[in-house]
């Protein structure tokens, strides 16, 4: 009887599921075409020293410039790209584009690139990174790979092995969205991260919720104890910056310093030929 009920409910939802499935297949095909048509682009968000506001680097964030739907943010297509495996190709595009871009800057600023857990499961991530570094000539120490703890959840020994190989290439590894997962502390013990990025939900709650202040204080203290620099994400106000400066949190990232933008608009921060920079802004 249970089986019949199941079948019944399945039939009931079928048209809707079919629609969803078709929409997803369509999105999947659209994404592959979009990469060929060069519709994916990177926006760059500055990261700065908390005390001085001096820019130390940029995080590359992918966008889809859809001819009909306009600019699509990663939350609307990255999960689907992870589901269907396309993120491996897209991630390689992001890595190559960001490294090529950073290698052209006059100032040796840092460049951060997000990696998906799926890139650890499929393809040869280490070989890809090695290849891109070779191709672009970027100093590996300028490249920071951002991972969330979801990378470590499925097959921790495999993930740790890949992370060690990546560090062997001379690149840095940051723990992104720290504090939102289930066992972030265990992962800090398992791997020597080069940076901890406090999730922006804690910073957003700073002046509304007393607990978030204690949590941020604890994470910055943890970073100090481990000798790992901490970046606060989502800093939008001077009050938040002042609080983080007082804690001696190394870096901040957020709308206060700058929103993610196309690279042309950031030319003044990148050093080099002033005339060329002005032209790019115009
Ligand atoms: P993330 O890596 O934690 O990136 C930070 C996100 O916070 C970005 O959203 C950024 O625009 C947003 N943000 C930064 N400062 C502020 C602020 O002051 N206020 C608010 N409200 N938001 C702020 P975005 O660009 O929409 O990216 C969302 C997420 O998508 C990223 O979170 C990352 O997990 C993922 N993502 C983006 N690009 C890539 C990529 O190339 N590959 C992979 N695998 N994931 C990516
Ligand atoms: Mg990130
Ligand atoms: Mg983050
Ligand atoms: Mg995130």
Residue 10 has pLDDT above 60, yes or no: no
Q: What is the dihedral of CA 149, 63, 141, 133, to 10 degrees?
A: 110
Q: Which pLDDT score, from 0 to 100, does residue 25 have?
A: 83
The alpha carbon of 100 and the centre of ligand 3 are apart by a number of angstroms equal to: 23
The alpha carbon of 263 and the centre of ligand 3 are apart by a number of angstroms equal to: 20
Residue 4 has pLDDT above 60, yes or no: no
The alpha carbon of 178 and the centre of ligand 2 are apart by a number of angstroms equal to: 10
Burial of residue 230, with CB atoms counted within 10 A of its CB: 0-12 exposed, 13-18 middle, 19 or more buried: buried
Per the structure block, which two tokens stand in for 10? 């399945």
* pTM for this predicted structure: 0.91
pLDDT band at 3 (very low <50, low <70, confident <90, very high): very low
- Cβ count within 10 A of residue 116: 22
Which residue bears the tokens 């992104």? 176
ipTM, two decimals, is 0.97
Residue 270 has pLDDT above 60, yes or no: yes
Which tens digit of pLDDT belongs to each residue from 243-261?
999 999 999 999 999 999 9
Report the pocket of ligand 1 as residue ranges, CB < 6 Å.
45, 61-62, 73-75, 78, 87, 91, 94, 114-116, 146, 176-177, 200, 233-236, 253-255, 260
pLDDT band at 34 (very low <50, low <70, confident <90, very high): very high
* Coil, strand or helix at 100: helix
The alpha carbon of 272 and the centre of ligand 1 are apart by a number of angstroms equal to: 28
Residue 277 has pLDDT above 60, yes or no: no
Which tens digit of pLDDT belongs to each residue from 170-195?
999 999 999 998 878 999 999 999 99
Query: Poorest-confidence range of 4-8, 182-186, 204-208, 219-223?
Result: 4-8
Question: What residues sit around ligand 2, an ion, with C-beta below 5 angstroms?
Answer: 114, 146, 176
Ligand 1 pocket check: which of 34, 41, 61 to mutate, most ligand atoms within 8 Å of Cβ? 61
């Amino acid at each position: 009887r249970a089986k019949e009920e199941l079948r019944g409910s399945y039939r009931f939802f079928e048209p809707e599921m079919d629609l969803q499935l078709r929409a997803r297949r369509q999105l999947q095909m659209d994404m592959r075409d979009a990469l060929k048509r060069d519709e994916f682009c990177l926006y760059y968000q500055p990261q700065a020293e908390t005390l001085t506001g001096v820019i130390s680097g940029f995080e590359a964030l992918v966008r889809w410039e859809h001819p009909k739907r306009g600019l699509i943010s990663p939350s609307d297509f990255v999960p689907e790209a992870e589901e269907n495996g396309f993120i491996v190709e897209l991630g390689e595009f992001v890595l190559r584009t960001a490294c090529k871009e950073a290698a052209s800057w006059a100032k040796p600023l840092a460049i951060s690139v997000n990696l998906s857990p799926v890139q650890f499961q499929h393809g040869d991530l280490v070989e890809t990174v090695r290849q891109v570094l070779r191709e672009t000539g970027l100093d590996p120490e300028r490249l920071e790979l951002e991972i969330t703890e979801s990378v470590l959840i499925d097959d921790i020994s495999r993930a740790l092995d890949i992370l060690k190989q990546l560090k062997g290439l001379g690149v840095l590894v940051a723990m992104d969205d720290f504090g939102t997962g289930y066992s972030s502390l265990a992962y800090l013990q398992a791997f020597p991260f080069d940076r901890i990025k406090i999730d922006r939900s804690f910073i957003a709650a700073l002046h509304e919720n007393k607990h978030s202040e204690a949590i941020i204080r604890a994470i910055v203290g943890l970073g100090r104890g481990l000798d790992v620099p901490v970046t606060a994400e989502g800093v939008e106000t001077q009050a938040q910056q002042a609080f983080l400066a007082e804690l001696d949190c190394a870096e901040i990232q957020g709308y206060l310093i700058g929103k993610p933008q196309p690279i042309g608009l950031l030319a003044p921060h990148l050093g080099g030929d002033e005339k060329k920079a002005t032209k790019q802004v115009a």
